[in-house]
Structure 1
């Protein structure tokens, strides 16, 4: 295995933030668009953008999540679990309770408090709504550390086999693990090559500028023909799309364009945690008032509201200092603090 390049040790890498920004915006676009279309029973022009991004939207997110794993996987278990498990568990439970505060009162009135308790306990084993990504990431991190002693090629082959097996058990943890773990392992294993690819695109952008339209045409054709989800083809399109997003992120970073996309990527977890409420509110307002009637434009407005509102909230919290616990884990919820030494016996 090649040595991890020095670039991987940087705290922030511009093209990574741009790429994460594109991914999180695509994720919010999907939820916003499908939510509107489900509510009105029609599709709009945004539906085609959602379908175009389906083959690579989540694969790239998981690939990017594995990029920096090499620099932390050798940490002792206590520190590793704190940063890669407890960290996400804190946000999962917090935002589960926040989302539940909007969804569960009606359930409590209709079916009683026991139904709410049942929903909460169920959410501990079956990821709740849009929070499934941060539920699954800690599982990926633990699995990677446990599998580190195994030959990497064997882990890659096994993960690829799981993806192509198209497993559907009905349990999100198993199904999404089988479908997504291979991209996380690819990000971890081939990080030096991915960074080298980004550097090459930055130095010689012309091949990427020529290749990206060709990729877009192939991806769109496969989606239109209904073959994008076939075993093998799904992985191929996921990897090609991931490479395309890396290239686009690199080109944006090189040209210093789309600063808002980079900012969204830098704070992707903020958007991911908090977009559900502005999405629901803006959708309700637009559908109830009828200010906008076209499904596509409603979806677009809901998407922008859902994606931008969490960033506004984040900036407000930074300015006022109130509510920092929403996006920053308090020290009280850390397990990597030094243990107290027992006083010597008298």
Structure 2
């Protein structure tokens, strides 16, 4: 069994991924509000093969123990209940926020969409939280199957979503949820192997993985079969993300700084869009070069999200379950053995 201790590189990996998510949304909102962003959207599109595969792979690694050994009741009350609550709460918060902050994108994916269907049609950027709860339930239901059957099924289903062969609704959210399921499943099923390989990673191997990922990105950007190639390159992206995280985790300052963010991904994830959307709207267009604007948005939105997390995290029901529900959850969730 994998050791219970939380490994530094896992927090670093989460910190890298959440920073790239904030960068992606910063570029999106600047572009949507009329900034001259140049090649930044194309660069962000390339990084899509890296940020979310890494995020879900590491999430699967962290959830592997409880999925394999706990009852569904324990899984639900220890992990899924919080995700479902956060999704519902922050759907309402985003709805209220974007009543007065302009939404510069397709109305079909606006937080002003139909709240009554949000639990079956995740139409906002909160799809990550929704998908993570769904992945845990699916992985638990599949846990008795041979590992290779689970991975094969996950690879095929995710590939069908990634290439657009299988589609639910007209917006990107269900496609994203379907595409990244295999990475969560891989992290869950291969948790011990991934941890062991990470512990033995050397610089030459890290450089080799980085080289494979870079070549894959070039093929993805220039070659045919764009969606299929992008899906396949995402596996190299997830491996590169682990290699990068392990390498940075061995350097004290980076491990502390990036790992600090990795331990606070939930408040950063649900809050940063509010800050980014406001600043991209109120700051005059092209006041500074777009690259600098993106860096400033990343720094300000992450700082604000962390501060709000520290302040409001002490108040039950904002980034955690309400106190009565939390107490009930603790009584219902027997520890995994």
TM superposition score normalised by structure 2? 0.84
Q: Which residue of 2 aligns with 1:192?
A: 192
Asked if 1:141 corresponds to 2:136, the answer is yes
Q: Where in structure 2 are the equivalents of 1:4-153 lying within 5 Å?
A: 4-6=1-3, 9-10=4-5, 12-40=6-34, 42-73=36-67, 74-104=69-99, 119-153=114-148
1:253 is matched with 249
Q: Summarize the Cα distance change of 1:185–1:219 in structure 2 as closer, same or farther, 3 Å threshold.
A: same
Residue 276 (str. 1) matches residue 273 (str. 2): yes
CA–CA separation in structure 1 for the residues paired with 2:39 and 2:112: 40
Distance 1:197 1:237, change over 3 A: same
Mapped pair 1:329 → 2:321: yes
Larger displacement relative to structure 2 (305-314 or 53-62) = 305-314
Unaligned runs of 5+ in 1: 108-115, 340-346
Q: Please report how far the alpha carbon of residue 217 of structure 1 lies from its aligned counterpart in structure 2 after TM superposition.
A: 3.0
Larger radius of gyration: 1
Q: Distance in 2 between matches of 1:242 and 1:117?
A: 33
Per the TM alignment, residue 227 of structure 1 is displaced from its structure 2 partner at its CA by: 4.7
Contact persistence 1:169–1:175 (CA under 8 A):
yes
2:238 — aligned with what? 242
* 1: CA distance, partners of 2:32 / 2:173: 25
The correspondence of residues 263-342 of structure 1 with structure 2, limited to 5 A, is 263-287=260-284, 291-292=287-288, 294-317=289-312, 321=314, 323-334=315-326, 335-338=328-331
TM-score by length of 1: 0.82
Partner of 1:343: none
Cα deviation digits, residues 287-312 of structure 1 (max 9, x gap): 36x632x3333233223322232012
Contact 2:63 2:188 in 1 (8 A): yes
**Closer/same/farther in 2, CA of residues 69 and 315 from structure 1, 3 Å limit:** closer
Question: Structure 2 regions of 5+ residues with no counterpart?
Answer: 103-110, 333-337
**Alpha-carbon separation, structure 1, partners of 2:192 and 2:181:** 19
Structure 1 residues 99 and 174 mapped into 2: Cα distance closer, same or farther (>3 Å)? closer
Q: CA deviation at 1:173?
A: 6.4
The 1:284/1:219 distance shift into structure 2, 3 A limit, reads same
Deviation at 1:162, TM superposition (A): 1.3
* CA 1:118–1:183: 2 relative to 1, 3 Å: closer
Q: Is the 8 A contact 1:286 1:298 kept in 2?
A: no
What SS does the aligned partner of 2:41 have? helix
